Amino acid sequence: MAILRDKLGSNMSLLYFVTLSSYPLPGGLTNRTNNLIRQLIKHGINLRLISPLLFKEFHNIEELNYIKSDPFKIISRSKRNYIQRLIQRLSLSVQRSSLPLLAFVVFFTLFRHILQSKGILSKNKRIIIQYMDERAFLPAFLSKVLSRMFGFNVIIVGDDITLRYRLLKRPLSYIVKLYEIFLVRYTDIITTSFKLCYYLMKDIRKGRPTLFVPNGINTEDYPSSIDYGKKDFRKIIFISSTLGEQNVLALNTLLEIAKAFSNEQKYRDVQFWVVGKAGLYLQKIMKDKYPDNIVRRRIKVFGVVPYSKLKELYERAGIGILPYFGKAAHSSQRIKALEYFAWGLLVVSSIDDLIGFSGLKANVHCIAVSSKDEMISKLKAILENPLKYINIAQNGRAFILENYSWDKVTRKYISTIKGLLLT
């Protein structure tokens, strides 16, 4: 339960974050969730987060840092009964068939906590339910409908909403379209980091609150300066995401790029480091596509790693790659891109995948390309003379630190949540 009190301590409202994701395990959604929690706590707002893996009330930054320090250990130590352990295993599964059960568990937990708040909720105060992924809309919506039957004033906030139906094939696209129309219509306040979706939903919602809340970084989490003498530009990092059509396309593109560095002796020490949830999938397609092991020697798969290991990899790598072309690209600000910039990496990306960064300039802050072949060509040019590109990496880092801090990008969001909790 998130609680905000005024100076007299008399005002009390409640805020819940709900998600069907594998929070707190590392990933883009977990990163965004943690940073929104951090901003809320900094402004005096506590909250209860409900996910299939963790039920947690956050009161201070130390609690958040503890969760971030080793999420795997946190999950394994949590006291749960047999049913809850089963839910944990299901939530870690990639099988979509488990989603209805996960949604029910999150809904049941959320609604039970709302009912238990009857005795502590101040008269005429609100309950705010913020769902952190679109799949969690239904638990939030059902909780709102049922809670109102018990006299609660409930507001639903949808975080980082985008319209995905266009990316899907028929007939699934029709089903998803209906779901997204319903979601956009019945969510009270919508935030999104997707620039194109922001303008579209703002028009569709006709004056109902729609906020553009880009992804950002915590400047204090990154070093004050970067020692480029320790960076190896022959180590190229790619942070993989949960599987989906966009990420499968990106992984296959990455394999084709790596193949271009497999035959020439001068690139024998070039390595593509792949970190994240899609590691097992990548190993499988590498084995199927390239049984001769030539390409596989160019790629090192780390899988999901704790933050300490990720930090070590970022400190060593010289280049961060974003091989998202065509419909694999989107108009948000990928968390991985922000991290690449903040760690001083030279970012090499498709042009389309950088559209969400206002003011970012190719060849000034990053290297932007229009095709896979151009990306290969640029990478080879960088490897020939990496010192020539350090200035671009430095400019990109400075630009992101200045314009995409969480303090800066969440100002309107924090103001909106505070207003809801205090009125």
The 10s digit of each residue's pLDDT in 296-322 is 788 999 988 888 899 999 999 999 999
Q: How confident is the model at residue 82 (pLDDT cuts 50, 70, 90)?
A: very low
Res 6 pLDDT > 50: no
Kindly report, residue by residue over 193-247, the tens digit of the pLDDT.
998 889 989 988 988 999 999 999 999 889 999 999 999 999 999 998 766 778 8
**Is the previous residue joined to 171 through a cis bond, with omega within 30 degrees of 0?**
yes
Higher pLDDT, 73 or 214: 214
Res 348 pLDDT > 70: yes
Among residues of the chain, what percentage have pLDDT more than 70? 89
Residue 6, classified by CB atoms within 10 Å of its CB into exposed (0-12), middle (13-18) or buried (19+), is exposed
CATH 3.40.50.2000 residue spans of the chain: 219-403
Which among 344, 339, 308 has a CA at the least distance from the CA of 239? 339
pLDDT of amino acid 9? 39
pLDDT of amino acid 35? 95
Q: How confident is the model at residue 20 (pLDDT cuts 50, 70, 90)?
A: very high
pLDDT-wise least confident of 74-83, 115-124, 277-286: 74-83
Domain 219-403 falls under CATH 3.40.50.2000: yes
Res 162 pLDDT > 80: yes
Kindly report, residue by residue over 203-217, the tens digit of the pLDDT.
889 889 999 999 999
Q: How confident is the model at residue 422 (pLDDT cuts 50, 70, 90)?
A: confident
**Is the previous residue joined to 100 through a cis bond, with omega within 30 degrees of 0?**
no
Higher pLDDT, 421 or 344: 344
Average pLDDT score over the chain: 87
Residue ranges in 43-98 assigned as alpha helix (H): 61-69, 71-77, 82-91
